[in-house]
Structure 1
Amino acid sequence: MLREYRDEDAARLNQVALAAFRQFHEAYDDWPAMAASIGRMSVLSQTSEIIVAEDHGEIVGGVAYVPAGAAKAAYFDPHWPIIRMLVVDPQARGRGLGRLLTEECIARARRDRSPVIALHTTPVMSIALRMYLRMGFERFRDALSIYGVPYGVYILRLA
Structure 2
Amino acid sequence: MPVIREFLPSDSTHVNALAAQAFEQFKDAYYDWPAFLAKIGNMSALADVGEVIVAEVEGQIVGAVAYVGPGAPKAEFFRPEWPIMRMLVVAPTSRGQGIGRALAQECLRRAKRDGASAFALHTSEFMQVALSMYQRIGFKLVSRAPAIHGVEYGVYVKELDD
TM-score (norm. length: structure 2): 0.97
| 8 Å contact kept, 1:60–1:89 | yes
| 8 Å contact kept, 1:16–1:89 | yes
RMSD of Structure 2 on Structure 1 (CA): 0.5
Query: Which of these residues, 6, 10, 13, is aligned with residue 11 of structure 1?
Result: 13
SS of residue matched to 2:88: strand
Unaligned runs of 5+ in 2: none
AA aligned to 2:20 is L
Query: Which of these residues, 63, 78, 81, is aligned with residue 79 of structure 1?
Result: 81
AA aligned to 2:48 is Q
| 8 Å contact kept, 1:27–1:124 | no
Structure 2 counterpart of 1:114? 116
C-alpha distance in 2, partners of 1:113/1:15?
33
Deviations 1:56-85 (A, max 9, x none): 111110000000000000000011000000
Pairwise mapping of residues 132-151 of structure 1 onto structure 2 (< 5 A)?
Answer: 132-151=134-153
Structure 1 counterpart of 2:155? 153
C-alpha distance in 2, partners of 1:41/1:53?
15
SS of residue matched to 1:36: helix
Aligned: 1:97 with 2:99: yes
C-alpha distance in 2, partners of 1:58/1:7?
15
Q: Offset of 1:106 from its aligned partner? A: 0.3
Structure 1 counterpart of 2:56? 54
SS of residue matched to 1:75: coil
Percent sequence identity over matched residues? 52
Q: Offset of 1:99 from its aligned partner? A: 0.5
C-alpha distance in 2, partners of 1:97/1:58?
13
SS of residue matched to 1:2: strand
AA aligned to 1:99 is R
TM-score (norm. length: structure 1): 0.99
Deviations 1:72-122 (A, max 9, x none): 000000110000000000011110100000000000001111000000000
Structure 2 counterpart of 1:26? 28
AA aligned to 1:27 is A
SS of residue matched to 2:157: strand
C-alpha distance in 2, partners of 1:31/1:86?
18
Query: Which of these residues, 23, 34, 37, is aligned with residue 39 of structure 2?
Result: 37
| 8 Å contact kept, 1:62–1:101 | yes
Runs of 4+ in 1 over 4 A off after TM superposition: none
